[in-house]
Amino acid sequence: MHNRTREGKGQHFTAHRIAYEVFIGPIPDGQHVCHKCDEKTRVSPRHLFLGTQADNMKDMLEKGRTAKGNAKPNAILNPELVKAIRNAPGSNGEIARKFNLNHRHVSKVRSHQIWKHVT
């Protein structure tokens, strides 16, 4: 995706924001340009609409676009490792050292705050 910097403001804009501004009009502060069709490479003004961050997150959830677990590009864990962490004896600190992880991360795994979908 191409970014453009507004002169003097140091702000970066993606192609869909530029398309919205060129073909529809200014984007009010605090608004996001969202995609109706979920094709991020499409910048057709017919596929774009304005919304808040909350609107964008709701749209993402309703369309099932959230990555879970090791489908996330920066995932460190996988379901097998999550199960091993949850079943391992010892404190969060001990388990973190054993698996070379941060103890807060281990705590969130063990308390099902993250990786909720792994039983």
How many domains does the chain fold into?
A: 2
Residue 105: give the domain boundaries: 69-110
Within a domain: residue 115? no
Stated pTM of the model:
0.47
Question: CA–CA distance from 107 to each of 80, 86, 92 (Å)?
Answer: 17, 9, 6
Q: Tell me, yes or no, whether 13 and 51 share the same domain.
A: yes
- 9 and 46 in a single domain? The answer is yes
Q: Distance between CA 10 and CA 16 in Å, rounded? A: 18
**pLDDT per position as a tens digit, 24-75:** 999 999 898 888 876 666 678 888 889 998 888 788 777 766 656 555 566 6
